[in-house]
Chains A and B, each alone.
Chain A
Amino acid sequence: MTGTSEAGDGRIGNWKVGVVTSIRRESASGRSITIDVPRWGGNIAGQHTDVRLTAANGYTAVRSYSVASAGAGDRIELAVDRLPTGEVSPYLVDTLREGDELELRGPLGGWFVWTPQQTESVQLIGGGSGIVPLMAMIRSHEASGSTAPFRLLYSVRTPLDAFFRAELESPSANLEVTWIFTRGAPSGWSRPAGRITAADLEAHGFPAALSPTVFVCGPTGFVETVASALVALGHEPNRVKTERFGGA
């Protein structure tokens, strides 16, 4: 599912040199980065790329980043949240400029993906930067004119921490978006700020009886809390796909 991976130059694992074409601030700590990657060859919604930084002394650091865009072509969008003590994310959020080169490999992973051939209901649950691969699914859903019912639960600290906020505030007809604010909700918001609970999943998610496919993505702790709550609500573990981003 990751596309053709013939030996030699076209091998998925080969590092490719992309050029940053534009950068957009998404939140106080995050931004999205559009990159032209020669021979990328398009990707399925949900796939990721590995980014490699190389220091002057040859030391390298590799991290995975989900692709927020989907479809054909060699232009991709990433969105990265800065971890203040991190090795790679502060560089991507604070230092990288338009026109800079970036080494990447991919598209990677054929399992945490959604394709327009899927017609069943889809529940997306994202925490923080975990929205990124889900955004690719939402965009692919909309671009393909899919009528599969989509629901998104997006948990962020405050409205200002949301990625892709404008896009998610005017969702397409087959997408319902529920916001969960963990630190500060807008005034007049009925749900008090707090972490996502089984009650949120029950109130706003597709019921287990509908057998939706569920994609959960975000920090490891978030993913584990949500995945166990889903199973407790009767969702079949096999229908729940997870992408842990690491961290607490």
Chain B
Amino acid sequence: MTEHVDGNALAGPLSDLFTFDPTTASARCAGCGDVSVLARAMVYGEPDTFVVRCAHCDDVLMTIVQTRDRFCIELRGMTWLKIPR
């Protein structure tokens, strides 16, 4: 993947971790304050690393790194994540 895709594509990788659909959860960008569902974020990915950027200001919302024995999720770029139930 050399070009970015939508946050929709995170549904699979994150389904290993969460029991909810993360792509319909909304996040508030710590950079610009925009609130959007994760499905609308921009995802830049190498096979095992995803950098998720705010579609509004391009700041990094979240980084996911998968290795053989662990997931590392860095969430500094979002103030909160609201999950529908």
Closest chain A CB from B33 CB (angstroms): 16
Closest residue on chain B to residue A220 by CB atoms? B3
Given contacts A110-B21, A110-B24, A111-B39, contact A244 B6 (CB under 8 A): yes
How many A-B residue pairs have C-beta atoms within 8 angstroms? Tell me: 79
Residues of A within 8 A of B80 (CB): none
Nearest-CB distance from B19 to chain A (Å)?
5
Distance of A1 from chain B, by nearest CB (Å): 6
Interface size of B by CB at 8 A reads 24
Q: Which of A213-236 contact B (CB under 8 A)?
A: 219-221
B residues in contact with A241, CB < 8 Å: 39
CA distance A220 to B9 in the complex (A): 13
Contacts of B5 in A (CB 8 A): 64, 220, 244-246
The answer to whether A163 has its CB under 8 Å from any CB of chain B is no
Report the bound CA distance from A221 to B14 in whole Å.
25
Q: Are A108 and B3 within 8 A (Cβ)?
A: no
Q: Which A residues lie within 8 Å of B14 (CB)?
A: 13
User: Within the assembled complex, what's the spacing in Å between the Cα atoms of A241 and B23?
Assistant: 13
Q: List chain B residues, Cβ under 8 A from A28.
A: none
Interface residue A105 (Cβ < 8 Å from any Cβ of B): yes
Smallest distance from the beta carbon of B78 to chain A beta carbons, Å? Answer: 17
Q: How far is the CA of A205 from the CA of B15 in the complex (A)?
A: 35
A247 on the interface (CB 8 Å rule)? Answer: yes
Which of A48, A61, A220 is within 8 Å of B4, CB to CB? Answer: A220
Q: Which residues of A contact B24 (CB under 8 A)?
A: 1, 110-111
Interface set, chain B 1-41, CB cutoff 8 A to A: 1-6, 8-9, 11-17, 19-21, 23-24, 37, 39-40
- Is A242 positioned at the interface, with any CB of B under 8 Å from its CB? yes
List residues of B whose CB falls within 8 A of some A CB.
1-6, 8-9, 11-17, 19-21, 23-24, 37, 39-40, 47
* A binding-site residues for B, Cβ under 8 Å: 1-2, 5-7, 11-13, 48-50, 61-62, 64, 105-106, 108-112, 219-221, 241-248
Closest 4 CB pairs of A and B: A13-B15, A111-B39, A50-B12, A108-B11
